[in-house]
Amino acid sequence: MVDLVSYTLYLDSSGDPGWCSPHGKSKVRHYVVAGLALTASANLQADSEVNRILRKYIRMAVWQGYKLELCYHHLIRGKNQYKGLDHPKRLEMANEVFDLLLEIKPVLFATAVDKIRMKQRYGVHAYNPKIYAMQATIHRFAMFLKRQTDGIGNVMMDSEEYRKDHKLQEMIREFKTTGIIIRGSAYQPRYIEKLDRILNTISFLDSDLSTGIQLADVCCRTVWQHFEHGKSNRFNQLAPLWNRDKNRIYEPSLVPK
């Protein structure tokens, strides 16, 4: 019997999934679902190192009423638990986090939805950006597992955003039997590609309890900043980690094409 290699895909989102004017009130153009797949050994190393970095730089945060967790949006802005760090210290901390990502070598996945182009192209048939981005990202993770021959996987997401989204959980259960790819004429969903390599359904976990989700937050915010604001220095650092097969790189995926 072949020994199986287990990967856990940690996912997070950045941006607003709502439509932009005149179809909605969203002020941002892009919505991103992104994350990283870790083996068990990489997971252990990430947990140890993220906690070390947090205690090195913000060990006083818990005493001030904040959770001891990595939140990239707050880090780069110097908010909440990072408000006591000056810019050089925050830059030093961010550098350590990105060095860690390059050291543990996760496989990165990301789907960025250009909501303006999506609505222009498909009109009333435009698919919900949050559901679309999640489906597309998990599908490519499933394809990655198949390419490994011995790969099986789990998907973990931040419970803050999804704990009340029962429709989303029901859809994931349905994907296990009907498939997940969206394709078909006139942009009508037709589901194929069953998730036979992904165990259970999506699991939800509070971000402060999972260093994997915290690192997914870093990757996701980095991808969103690249597409939304053209801030690409950190994004370019992630280049060696994207999901790929030989010379073909699948990530990040910007939709519509």
Q: Please give the model's pTM, rounded to 2 decimal places.
A: 0.88
Q: Is the pLDDT of residue 187 over 90?
A: no
- Structural domain boundaries in the chain: 5-255
pLDDT at residue 114, as a whole number: 98
Across 68-77, 177-186, 211-220, which has the greatest mean pLDDT? 211-220
Render pLDDT for 104-143 as a digit per residue (tens, 0 to 9).
999 999 999 999 999 999 999 998 899 899 889 988 998 8
Q: Which residues contact 191 (CB under 8 A, 6 or more apart)?
A: 174, 175, 178, 179, 180, 181, 182
More confident residue, 237 or 170: 237
- Please give the pLDDT value at position 67: 79
Query: Which of 12, 9, 33, 254 is CA-nearest to residue 142?
Result: 9
Domain covering 5-255, topology = Nucleotidyltransferase; domain 5 (3.30.420)
Q: Which of 16-20, 58-62, 230-234 has the lowest mean pLDDT?
A: 58-62
Question: What are the residues whose beta carbons fall under 8 Å from the beta carbon of 68, sequence distance 6 or more?
Answer: 51, 54, 55, 58, 59, 61, 62, 81, 208
Percent of the chain past pLDDT 90, that is, above it, reads 61
What tokens does 90 get? 């925050």
